[in-house]
Amino acid sequence: MGFRTRQIHAGVTPDPTTGAILTPIHQTTTYVQPSVDEYMSKGYSYSRSANPTVQALELKLADLEGGVDCACFGTGMSAIHAVMLAFLNAGDHAIVSDVAYGGTYRLCTKILKRFGIDFTFADTANADDVAAAVRDNTQLILTETPANPTMKCSDIAAISEISKQSGAVHAVDNTFLTPYYQLPFELGADISIHSTTKYMDGHNATVGGAVICNNDEHAEAVRFIQNSTGTIMSPQVAWLTLQGCKTLSVRMDYQSASAMEIATFLEAHPKVQQVMYPGLESFPQYELATRQASGYGAMLWFEVKGGLAAGKKLMDNIEVWTLAENLGSVESLITHPVTMTHADVEKAERDRVGIIDGLVRASVGLEDTDDLISALETALDQV
């Protein structure tokens, strides 16, 4: 079946008791067992370990990614954390994209490093840099592609080959493009990670995360962490995310087409210094972005001439666009990463990887494209 069919039907069946077309919200702590000898005969014992509503979402996401299993978590960061805990021990080494969500950087440098895990933040856009960073104790390679917020892309196939040669697990944060546009497993990756808060939900209604694995051994390791740390997604969040998934492709198609128009407009505007969007032929990795994904997504960034002061003025005065953290929602959001999403990344590190002070990150929503462009034009006229 095609993606659009599976995003609606995979993982869910009508409720056997009532025939309800939507999976019920199983808001329960525990499950009554028929007898001691039949313990777990229905597959559930306690909702920290498994819940039917959450399981429906897990089945759906595993199907859409083409994996063997999915574990859903309370937040995107708890999903990232679970992968780290599943495959890293004291004395191990991991390679992480040098441009990644600020929370990922904070987790590695401020928390996990305290427990004797070493991290190299490599330029994963260059496979040679990744290969050079591999050590005998490298157990995990985590790539975020396209990267937040610079949109830098990593060659998933090339890095997956390096991971196989070294024996490391290759995990890809696939949040920006989703399985609708990018399938890491087809390119050799072992794990695909999502902040379901973003495009899977799509409506600014929940926070959640998911880890999809491509083999049973990895899936079992992640499931153990999910149960042991008690970070499973709640049933109400899973239910809302199940509904969001049904419109994923429709939203992504419109948002991406709109993003392309907006990026083209910004690139031609005299007050814009630079624009980064993978769908523009001027994008440094346009060939790679076109080769490994079927779409370019709805995230972009630009810098206004006049730098930080001009960028702040635009963000503080723009209409229609909303100044807020998050991305991937039906509302168009505009963000200043240096003071918002990446504030915990040291300035020297931000400068090294290209997260410049004047960078304006834009998440294109479902509003009329003409209205979004008009709002940008009016705001640019004022800077």
Residues 44, 69, 92, 101: which is the catalytic one?
101
Any residues with CB less than 8 A from the CB of 134 and at least 6 apart, and which? Answer: 95, 162, 166, 168
The dihedrals phi and psi of 166, each to the nearest 5 degrees, come to: -95, -15
Fill in the DSSP letter of residue 30.
Answer: B
SS (H, E, C) 89-124: CCCCEEEEECCCCHHHHHHHHHHHHHHCCEEEEECC
Annotation says 173 is catalytic: yes
The dihedrals phi and psi of 282, each to the nearest 5 degrees, come to: -80, -10
Concatenated DSSP letters of 181-214: H--GGGGT-SEEEEETTTTTT-SS----EEEEES
Residues 48, 106, 246, 313: which is the catalytic one?
48
In order of 72, 85, 138, 273, 338, the CA distances from 142 in angstroms are 18, 13, 11, 31, 22
What type of residue is 113?
K
Residue 253 and residue 131: Cα distance in Å, rounded? 35
Annotation says 48 is catalytic: yes
Residues 63, 69, 92, 173: which is the catalytic one?
173
Residues 63, 152, 181, 198: which is the catalytic one?
198
Annotation says 101 is catalytic: yes
Six token digits for residue 10: 């995979």
In our burial notation (b when 16+ CB lie closer than 10 A, e otherwise), range 257-296 reads bbbbebbebbbebebbeebbbbbbeebebbebbeebbebb
Fill in the DSSP letter of residue 330.
Answer: S
Catalytically active residues, by annotation: 48, 101, 173, 198
